[in-house]
Amino acid sequence: MTDTNRVALAFSGGLDTTVCVPLLEEEYDYDEVIGVTVDVGQPESEFEEATETAKALDLEHYVVDAREAFANLCLQSVKANATYQSYPLGTALARPVIAEAILDVALEHDCTALAHGCTGKGNDQLRFEAVWRDSGMEVIAPVRELGLTREWEQEYADDHDLPVEGGSEGKYSIDTNLWSRSVEGSELEDPATIPEDDIYDWTSSPDGDDPETVVLTFENGMPVAVDGESLDAVTLIETLNEQAGAYGVGRTDMMEDRMLGLKVRENYEHPAATVLLTAHEALEGLVLTTEERQFKNHVDQKWAEKAYEGLVDAPLVDALDGFVETTQNRVTGSVTVKIEGGHCRAVSRESPHAVYSESAASFNEADVTGGIEQADATGVAKYHGFQSRLANRVSEDGTEEAEESLELPQTD
């Protein structure tokens, strides 16, 4: 142990976290600041920026590779068909993984506090702190606690010769990981503004290219192969991002309801997530019963809500996972997805666990599986909707109309 007062900072090398380094020393009296950058699939340029900025600040800096853990969580979310208001939760799923990695570094280096550069208006402050507040360490949020603005931060950086770029570069707030790329800010904050194509990086504008088919293989609900080639989680996601992104698949432009009640305009790119979620739902449609699918819709929605909140380790999620995993025991098989013109759709599906009988469903077969004949449906048809028909014949004053006008099911 040491008497040195250390704080571990979630460090990106951008303006917010760069300004946080001296502020943690000046305003919070910490002797040492440790910067931690966590790799969940960002571009290499972001790590170069973080490393160079840390060096210029003389900041002790660590880069943690958490891509595998993050990719596995993303594929776990596919089992729950997890989306929040139509987007596949890339940013939300990444935050607990990042927070856990930073906490591990903090514990390893005897830190007494954890810090982030999140504002007081976003979701990330809540997601980070949901993980950290169980650690017993102090949690510090300089941007929120000191009421900092971007203008103040830029002026402070200039006055203290901090290594940050000024000017108009980076007018958008962009967050990138394996599962999604988000773009917000600047003119995009106006919901009436139509985004220019240059905000997109992963996806090409849809054109008239010939469609392409992709075969996804699942084992117990988990994607394991693309076009017959077994791939690890990270490579599988990267492959589909490139393959589907070339066709403009996976764009979302939405008004997102944040946890604090604010609405924000968000633009997302998520090609791999879109393809995998489409394929997985198609396979579930083949192998799950009607009741399982109906109930699982509720479970999936609640799972996604907890993931959006950054609470994937909540006891409720453990319980939800129990149900999800039980249903996934039969979600094994393959789905062919066609990608074209900014869209993807399942065009075939196969599974040894299909809850489907071709002969039963065929229009060309007289008999149905189990010896049931078409005529056997007559009784069901007579009873179907009977209560509604009866209710509709009750007048407003509570008296019944002539019963003879109502066709009654016959009983023996």
The CATH number that applies at residue 271 is 3.90.1260.10
Answer whether residue 90 is part of any domain: yes
Assign 357 a pLDDT band (cuts: 50, 70, 90): confident
223 token code pair:
């994607």
pLDDT of residue 140: 99
pLDDT of residue 322: 98
- Determine the average pLDDT of the residues in 271-279: 99
- Does residue 404 have a pLDDT over 80? no
Answer whether residue 34 is part of any domain: yes
User: Are residues 184 and 266 located together in one domain of the fold?
Assistant: yes
Assign 1 a pLDDT band (cuts: 50, 70, 90): very low
Amino acid at 226: V
More confident call, 224 vs 367: 224
User: Are residues 382 and 256 located together in one domain of the fold?
Assistant: no
pLDDT 10s digits, 142-156 = 999 999 999 999 999
Lowest pLDDT segment from 131-145, 329-343, 393-407: 393-407
pLDDT of residue 411: 59
Any catalytic annotation for residue 173? yes
Of 121, 153, 173, which closes a domain?
173
User: Are residues 66 and 163 located together in one domain of the fold?
Assistant: yes
User: Are residues 131 and 219 located together in one domain of the fold?
Assistant: no
Treating both helix axes as pointing N-terminal to C-terminal, what angle do 124-132 and 90-108 enclose, rounded to 10 degrees?
40
Answer whether residue 387 is part of any domain: yes
**Helices and strands: H and E segment counts in the chain:** 14, 16
User: Are residues 320 and 218 located together in one domain of the fold?
Assistant: yes
Q: Which of 6, 104, 150, 173 is catalytic?
A: 173
User: Are residues 70 and 189 located together in one domain of the fold?
Assistant: no
318 token code pair:
């453990």
Answer whether residue 410 is part of any domain: no
User: Are residues 86 and 141 located together in one domain of the fold?
Assistant: yes
- Determine the average pLDDT of the residues in 8-35: 97
Between the alpha carbon of residue 369 and those of residues 15, 166, 278, 350, 351, the distances in Å are 67, 71, 30, 20, 19
- Does residue 412 have a pLDDT over 60? no
Q: Which of 124, 180, 265, 351 is catalytic?
A: 124
Assign 2 a pLDDT band (cuts: 50, 70, 90): low
- Does residue 283 have a pLDDT over 50? yes
DSSP 187-232: GGGSTTPPPPGGG-SS-PPP-SPPPEEEEEEEETTEEEEETTEE--
Any catalytic annotation for residue 227? no
User: Are residues 261 and 384 located together in one domain of the fold?
Assistant: no
Q: What is the CATH number of the domain that holds 58?
A: 3.40.50.620
138-140 vs 173-176, strand pairing mode: unpaired
pLDDT 10s digits, 198-257 = 999 999 987 767 899 999 999 999 999 999 999 999 999 999 999 999 999 999 999 999
Annotated binding site for ATP: 10-18, 117
Amino acid at 97: V
Q: Which of 67, 77, 95, 330 is catalytic?
A: 95
For residue 391, what are the domain limits?
367-405
HSE, CB side, 13 Å, CA atoms: give it for residue 394. Answer: 7
User: Are residues 167 and 184 located together in one domain of the fold?
Assistant: no
DSSP 262-297: -EEEEEEE-HHHHHHHHHHHHHHHHHS-HHHHHHHH
- Determine the average pLDDT of the residues in 283-289: 98
Average pLDDT across the chain, whole number: 93
Of 154, 173, 192, which closes a domain?
173
Annotated binding site: 10-18, 87, 117, 119, 123-124, 127, 173, 182, 256, 268
Assign 362 a pLDDT band (cuts: 50, 70, 90): low
Paired with 63 in beta bridges are 37
Torsion of CA 359, 362, 367, 370, to 10 degrees: 40
Assign 372 a pLDDT band (cuts: 50, 70, 90): confident
- Does residue 367 have a pLDDT over 60? no
Answer whether residue 229 is part of any domain: yes
User: Are residues 98 and 211 located together in one domain of the fold?
Assistant: no
- Determine the average pLDDT of the residues in 138-145: 98
Q: Which of 16, 39, 175, 300 is catalytic?
A: 16
Annotated binding site for L-citrulline: 87, 123, 127, 173, 182, 256, 268
pLDDT of residue 169: 47
Assign 263 a pLDDT band (cuts: 50, 70, 90): very high
Annotated binding site for L-aspartate: 119, 123-124
Give percent of the chain above pLDDT 90: 82
Answer whether residue 192 is part of any domain: yes
Any catalytic annotation for residue 251? no
Number of domains in the chain: 3
Find, among 214, 217, 213, 232, the residue nearest to 333 by Cα: 217
Answer whether residue 355 is part of any domain: no
- Does residue 292 have a pLDDT over 60? yes
Of 173, 193, 211, which closes a domain?
173
Lowest pLDDT segment from 174-183, 292-301, 397-406: 397-406
User: Are residues 321 and 391 located together in one domain of the fold?
Assistant: no
Answer whether residue 297 is part of any domain: yes
User: Are residues 240 and 280 located together in one domain of the fold?
Assistant: yes
pLDDT of residue 167: 43
